[in-house]
């Protein structure tokens, strides 16, 4: 079969139309970029190289020539992000949240080290697991460890309270005291409520244990000032994606709040973990878009984060009123952009997610809920309202959406109604 360029254009144009005009996207890890962010990504930086750090008037820090303009963009993005996050250091080079986690793991962990993180069963990300970057991609004298090898990382899991959506503060502190890990990781992928950073940081700081907060999902909410600020509670690093609640291009960042000499040693190792550890040239063409998105968040982040969380709570209530099982009801459903639905009374979560997307244009993902054992056959859907909030939906629309979702869950086809609702919300707000 020969592929014509026109065929490729056709597929891309179908995707553009379907996902930006006809579907309700509730995937919690995605977002839509403003036209300014999108348009600026088509530029000459694509395909260029700029390893190292921006050159300055007094020092050469690059391994390539021809970098004067990306030097300006990279320096501005770093400075603007430091100001927005009110922290001391930022590395804008990781090409994704996973690459940011890889950089930190390569920098701070060695064979046989102990880590405490959230397990996948309670919403932790795969990069913190035995099969992810923390568990296996650790170099010991130039060697990459394989899963289960003798010197692999010993990953321990934070104890949760009975509901499974909160960490048990005092048991977590006891665990740190008991095993004295080499690093702790907070934050997760199914992320409804803040983590007890303050309590854990107190004991970790007294033992000089680095505290990484993985804010991949909640970066936009943190920078909008509407979710816990891990730095104010004592975290050393925040790693994040820049395309989830932070509505920028697909990239990652590492933010730091290093003060002491010891902490600066960690930061310098992380610098090498980023380059050459986890990337070389860092997809330069998307960096101007990150700078634009930082500016958008500076101007509109607080309002956007506020409306996103209000929408998530309203959606939780509206779905509950429709008879859908929304998790964590006794805690107000959520304090983030996400909700967790237990859909077992409607069928198999995997099939439901597929049918919502294919038959109804409602895009979600199936997800494990606390207590589930099989990642391929979980009982939940994870949903996030950050994208539809950016398209201007408010609490009232969450009610309409809940009615459509319930109808789809009981097997009706609501594709036409979904397209009709969506057609009123196609312009990006907070831009």
Element (H, E) at 326: strand 325-326
DSSP 358-382: HHH-EE-EEE--TT---TTS-SEEE
- Decide: 181 and 114 in contact? Cβ < 8 Å: yes
Whichever of 125 and 406 has its CB closer to ligand PLP, that residue is 125
Whichever of 189 and 245 has its CB closer to ligand PLP, that residue is 189
Whichever of 29 and 229 has its CB closer to ligand PLP, that residue is 29
Whichever of 214 and 397 has its CB closer to ligand PLP, that residue is 214
Write down the residue that tokens 């397209």 correspond to.
Answer: 419
d(CA 175, CA 180): 8
DSSP 8-state symbol, 50: -
Whichever of 31 and 67 has its CB closer to ligand PLP, that residue is 31
Whichever of 33 and 67 has its CB closer to ligand PLP, that residue is 33
Whichever of 97 and 247 has its CB closer to ligand PLP, that residue is 97
Residues in contact with 92: Cβ distance below 8 Å, sequence separation at least 6, in sequence order: 74, 77, 78, 81, 251, 253, 287, 290
Q: Which residues bind ligand PLP (CB under 6 A)?
A: 29, 96-98, 101, 125, 127, 187-189, 214, 216-217, 241, 252
Smallest separation, CB 123 to ligand PLP (Å): 8
Smallest separation, CB 354 to ligand PLP (Å): 20
With H, G, I as helix, E, B as strand and everything else as coil, classify residue 323: coil
Smallest separation, CB 118 to ligand PLP (Å): 8
Whichever of 34 and 336 has its CB closer to ligand PLP, that residue is 336
Smallest separation, CB 95 to ligand PLP (Å): 8
Residue nearest to ligand PLP (CB): 97
Whichever of 251 and 422 has its CB closer to ligand PLP, that residue is 251
d(CA 369, CA 127): 18
Residues in contact with 55: Cβ distance below 8 Å, sequence separation at least 6, in sequence order: 61, 62, 67, 68, 71
Whichever of 125 and 226 has its CB closer to ligand PLP, that residue is 125
- Decide: 87 and 257 in contact? Cβ < 8 Å: yes
Whichever of 85 and 421 has its CB closer to ligand PLP, that residue is 85
Smallest separation, CB 250 to ligand PLP (Å): 7
∠ CA 271-30-231, rounded to 5°: 45
Positive or negative torsion for Cα 174, 177, 182, 184: positive
In Å, how far are 87, 209, 226, 255 from 236, measured between CA atoms? 10, 9, 20, 8
Smallest separation, CB 426 to ligand PLP (Å): 25
Q: What is the chain's Cα-based Rg? A: 22
DSSP 8-state symbol, 31: -
Token digits for 237? 């690093």
Smallest separation, CB 4 to ligand PLP (Å): 32
**Residues in a beta bridge with 375:** none
d(CA 402, CA 314): 10
Smallest separation, CB 177 to ligand PLP (Å): 26
Smallest separation, CB 94 to ligand PLP (Å): 8
Smallest separation, CB 219 to ligand PLP (Å): 10
d(CA 406, CA 404): 6
Closest among 258, 191, 259, 260 to 221, alpha carbons compared: 191
Smallest separation, CB 5 to ligand PLP (Å): 29
d(CA 326, CA 332): 10
């Amino acid at each position: 079969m020969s592929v014509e360029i026109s065929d490729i254009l056709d597929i891309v144009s179908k995707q553009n139309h379907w996902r930006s005009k006809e579907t309700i996207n509730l995937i919690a890890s995605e977002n839509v970029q403003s036209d300014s962010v999108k348009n600026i990504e088509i530029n000459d930086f694509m395909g260029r190289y700029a390893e190292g750090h921006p050159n300055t008037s007094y020092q050469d820090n690059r391994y390539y020539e021809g970098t004067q303009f990306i030097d300006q963009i990279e320096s501005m993005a770093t400075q603007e992000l430091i100001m927005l996050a009110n922290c001391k250091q930022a590395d804008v080079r990781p090409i994704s949240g996973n690459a940011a986690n890889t950089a930190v793991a390569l920098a701070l962990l060695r064979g046989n080290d102990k880590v405490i993180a959230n397990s996948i069963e309670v919403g932790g990300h795969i990069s913190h697991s035995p099969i992810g970057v923390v568990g296996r991609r650790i170099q010991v004298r130039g060697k990459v460890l394989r899963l289960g090898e003798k010197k692999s990382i010993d990953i321990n899991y934070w104890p949760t309270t009975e509901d499974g959506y909160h960490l048990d503060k005092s048991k977590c502190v006891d665990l740190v005291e008991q095993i004295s890990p080499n690093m702790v990781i907070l934050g997760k992928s199914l992320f409804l409520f803040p983590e007890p950073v303050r309590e854990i940081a107190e004991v970790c700081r007294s033992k000089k244990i680095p505290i990484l907060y993985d804010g991949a999902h909640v970066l936009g909410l943190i920078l909008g000032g509407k979710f816990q600020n891990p730095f104010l509670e004592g975290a050393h690093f925040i790693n994040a994606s820049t395309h989830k609640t932070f509505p920028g291009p697909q990239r990652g960042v590492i933010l730091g709040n290093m003060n002491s000499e010891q902490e600066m040693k960690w930061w310098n190792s992380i610098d090498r973990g980023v380059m050459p550890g986890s990337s070389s040239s860092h997809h330069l063409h998307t960096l101007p878009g990150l700078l634009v998105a930082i500016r958008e968040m500076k101007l509109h982040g607080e309002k956007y984060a506020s409306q996103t969380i209000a929408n998530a709570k309203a959606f939780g209530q509206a779905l509950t009123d429709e008879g859908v099982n929304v998790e964590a009801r006794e805690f107000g459903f959520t304090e983030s952009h996400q909700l967790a639905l237990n859909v077992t009374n409607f069928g198999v979560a995997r099939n439901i997610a597929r049918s919502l997307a294919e038959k109804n244009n409602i895009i979600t993902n199936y997800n494990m809920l606390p207590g589930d054992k099989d990642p391929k056959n979980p009982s939940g859907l994870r949903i996030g309202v950050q994208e539809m909030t950016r398209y201007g939906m408010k609490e009232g629309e969450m009610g309409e959406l809940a009615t459509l979702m319930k109808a789809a869950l009981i097997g009706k086809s609501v594709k036409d109604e979904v397209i009709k609702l969506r057609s009123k919300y196609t312009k990006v707000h907070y831009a």
